[in-house]
Amino acid sequence: MRNVVLLHGLANNEHVWSSLTGHWNPGVEVHAPRLPWHGGGIADWRHETDSAARLADVLDRVPGGPDLVVAHSFSSVLLLELLSRRAAAGEPPGLSGVVLVNPFYRSDADDFHWDMIAPTLDDFPRTMAESMRLRTQDRPVDPDLLTDMARRMTEWIGPYGWLRFFDAYLRTPLFRVDLVTTPALVIGGEADRSAPVEQARGLAARLSGAQCVTVPGCGHFPMLERPDWFTAGVQAFLGLLPPRVRPLADA
- Answer yes or no: is 83 within a domain: yes
**Within a domain: 24:** yes
Flag whether 201 is in a domain: yes
Closest CA to 132 of 146, 152, 145: 146
Q: Which residue stretches of the chain have pLDDT < 50?
A: 247-249, 251
250 located within any domain: no
Q: How many domains does the chain have?
A: 1
Within a domain: 172: yes
CATH of the domain at 122: 3.40.50.1820
**Residue 57, domain extent:** 2-243
- Position 249 in a domain: no
Is 157 domain-assigned? yes
Q: Is residue 248 part of a domain?
A: no
Q: What is the pLDDT of residue 223?
A: 96
